[in-house]
């Protein structure tokens, strides 16, 4: 049994590797990062997921693909079964205790109960009566669901304008966020903030939401995943109309992590909501890890609408901003630990070497605090170097990823990533695909078989042919050689 489990785990790892190569890191992380293998027996693969929403989404969009990938590992697999981890087996439907229901629902249930009389199966109105009672409960649940929409995602009280440290890289984004939070006339709509992880876009979004809500405006802050969950739940409960109408009554809508908004129907509804709010002079703010034009999974209409407002990028902090962030965090830490001190030389050392994001800077300082408080030893540069060694970025050039190459090449040649991974053989796709494979060979440490897998499970000989072909063409074609050098500079930037 133990051996079977190990074999199943290896097969599942290979299936996930192929899924990641076919779908890309963003889509894979959104839908399959939390999927676990439970069992593979009798031709049925049983997978578990943490939420019902995730189960329904994978069943609707990826079931056939999963079956196909599993059959490449195990020919007798003919069925994929998805379960929700921790979910109980289905039970006969029971009426809930009245005290456990929300007040509006209790009133509807009470009215239904007062009108109820025992019926028998041969009564002509028995089915109609049962349907009426079910409809009454559904209407009450729909009303509650619509009200729940306005609650949105939780806001972190630490994320305010007062705790946000300004610098050259984020000054424009901060100014735009403050203007939106202040209210008044809508001057740019939507406001679109984009930045890599840990550079402050979520901090700004929540600061705007907190200030606007404090001024009495109707504010809704959601992540894209939360929006998808609410919309799909509304469809299931047949309360989609109430969901839409509720969304369109708010004054300020904030959607975070836009890169995770997937699904044609969900994106269409988001676009309709976006149009309704903007046309009604209601403010919308969207944040993502890339500019709208680089979100390949979004519908063209959504990308166009998002690009029509003010698009502001937040760059990596320079040394001055990193130093100010550390100083601000030290001041904040002293409220809890009055005797906590960090020499300026140590702060300078951290600011010079932890350069990726404000979140990493905060993590570095938290390590220094923990070391100081747990060992009662003063913070020195030697201690900082030892404690933070895995956070310190080396002096080597930035490591290029195959996903970066596919994204840059797709954008440069106006093709999609799906085209690069497909089996299509048209010239407009073959040449960009060969260039991308060539760049993957010369700019990453990946082997030819690995590169082949990341380009639609191609054989390593296909990659080798592409590399040799581009080398040969670049020697004879100056324009192509210049294009390749331009792509390399874009990837190294």
CA distance 161 to 154: 17
Question: For residues 121 and 136, what is the distance between their CA atoms, to the nearest angstrom?
Answer: 21
pLDDT of residue 110: 47
**Does the structure show a pLDDT above 90 at 467?**
yes
Residue 82 phi, psi dihedral angles, 5° rounding: -110, 135
Averaged pLDDT for residues 312-337: 87
The answer to whether residues 61 and 263 touch, using CB atoms and an 8 Å cutoff, is: yes
- Per-residue model confidence as pLDDT tens digits over 379-423: 888 888 888 877 775 434 557 889 889 999 998 888 898 889 988
- What integer is the mean pLDDT of 443-469? 90
pLDDT at 113: 42
**pTM: predicted TM-score of the whole model, two decimal places:** 0.54
Local structure of residue 90 (DSSP, 8 states) = P
Q: What is the pLDDT of residue 26?
A: 67
pLDDT-wise least confident of 168-182, 239-253, 459-473: 239-253
Confidence at residue 96, expressed as pLDDT on a 0 to 100 scale: 40
- Report the alpha-carbon distance of residue 268 to residue 233 in Å, rounded: 16
On the question of pLDDT at 102 being above 70, the answer is: no
Q: Are 431 and 470 in contact (CB under 8 A)?
A: no
Pairing of strands 79-84, 44-49: parallel
Q: Is residue 147 predicted with pLDDT exceeding 60?
A: no
Q: Which has more pLDDT, 281 or 350?
A: 350
What was the pLDDT predicted at 291?
A: 86
Segment 192-221, tens digit of pLDDT = 999 888 888 999 999 999 999 888 888 889
pLDDT at 205: 92
pLDDT reported for residue 209: 92
pLDDT at 340: 82
Residue 434: its pLDDT value, please? 93
Query: Is residue 116 within 8 Å of residue 133, measured between CB atoms?
Result: yes
Q: What is the mean pLDDT of residues 287-291?
A: 88
Report the candidate in 61, 49, 53, 80 with the shortest Cα–Cα distance to residue 22. Answer: 61
Phi, psi of 201 (to 5 degrees): -70, -40
pLDDT tens per residue across span 18-41: 888 787 776 777 788 888 888 888
Sorting pLDDT into bands at 50, 70 and 90, what band is 436?
very high
Share the mean pLDDT of the chain: 79
Name, in order, each residue with C-beta under 8 angstroms of 167's C-beta and a sequence gap of 6 or more: 317, 318, 320, 321, 324
Nearest CA-CA partner of 106 in 149, 136, 145, 150: 136
Q: Which phi and psi angles does 221 have, rounded to 5°? A: -110, 120
Look at 121-130, 349-358, 387-396, 414-423 and tell me which has the smallest mean pLDDT: 121-130
Element (H, E) at 46: strand 44-49
- How large is the average pLDDT for residues 94-109? 42
């Amino acid at each position: 049994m133990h051996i079977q489990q190990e074999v199943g785990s290896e097969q599942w790892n290979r299936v996930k590797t192929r899924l990641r190569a076919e779908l890309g890191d963003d889509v894979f992380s959104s839908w399959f990062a939390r999927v676990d293998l439970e069992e593979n027996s009798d031709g049925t693969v049983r997978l578990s997921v943490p939420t019902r929403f995730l189960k329904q989404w994978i069943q609707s969009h990826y079931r056939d693909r999963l079956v196909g990938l599993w059959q490449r590992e195990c020919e007798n697999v003919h069925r994929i079964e998805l379960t929700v981890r921790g979910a109980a087996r289905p039970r006969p439907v029971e009426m809930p205790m009245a005290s456990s229901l929300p007040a509006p629902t209790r009133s509807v249930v009470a009215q239904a109960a007062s009108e109820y009389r025992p019926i028998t199966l041969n009564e002509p109105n028995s089915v109609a009566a049962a349907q009426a009672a079910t409809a009454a409960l559904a209407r009450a649940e729909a009303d509650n669901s619509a009200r729940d929409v306005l609650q949105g995602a939780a806001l972190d009280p630490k994320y305010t304008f007062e705790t946000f440290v300004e610098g050259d890289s984020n000054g424009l984004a901060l100014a735009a966020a403050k203007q939106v939070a202040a209210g008044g006339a809508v001057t740019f709509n939507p406001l679109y903030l984009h930045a890599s992880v840990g550079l402050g876009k979520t901090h700004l979004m929540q600061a705007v939401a907190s200030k606007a809500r404090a001024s009495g405006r109707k504010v809704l802050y959601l992540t894209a995943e939360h929006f998808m969950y609410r919309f799909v739940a509304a469809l299931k409960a047949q309360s989609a109309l109430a969901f839409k109408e509720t969304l369109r009554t708010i004054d300020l809508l904030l959607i975070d992590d836009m890169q995770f908004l997937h699904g044609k129907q969900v994106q269409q509804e988001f676009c309709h909501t976006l149009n309704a709010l903007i046309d009604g002079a209601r403010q919308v703010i969207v944040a993502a890890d890339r500019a709208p034009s680089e979100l390949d999974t979004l519908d063209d209409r959504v990308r166009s609408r998002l690009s029509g407002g003010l698009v502001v990028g937040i760059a990596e902090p320079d040394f001055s901003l990193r130093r100010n962030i550390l100083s601000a965090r030290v001041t904040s830490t002293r409220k809890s630990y009055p005797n906590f001190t960090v020499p300026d030389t140590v702060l300078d050392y951290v600011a010079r070497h932890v350069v990726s994001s404000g979140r990493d800077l905060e993590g570095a300082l938290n390590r220094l605090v923990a070391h100081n408080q747990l060992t009662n030893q003063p913070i020195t540069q030697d201690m900082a170097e030892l404690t933070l060694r895995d956070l310190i970025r080396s002096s080597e050039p930035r490591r290029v990823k195959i996903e970066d190459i596919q994204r840059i090449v797709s954008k440069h040649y106006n093709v999609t990533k799906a085209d690069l991974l497909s089996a299509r053989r048209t010239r407009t796709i073959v040449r960009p695909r060969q260039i991308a494979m060539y760049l993957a060979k010369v700019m990453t440490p990946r082997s030819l078989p690995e590169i082949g897998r990341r380009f639609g499970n191609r054989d390593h000989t296909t990659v080798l042919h592409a590399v040799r072909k581009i080398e040969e063409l670049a020697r004879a074609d100056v324009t192509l050689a210049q294009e390749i050098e331009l792509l390399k500079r874009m990837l190294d930037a």
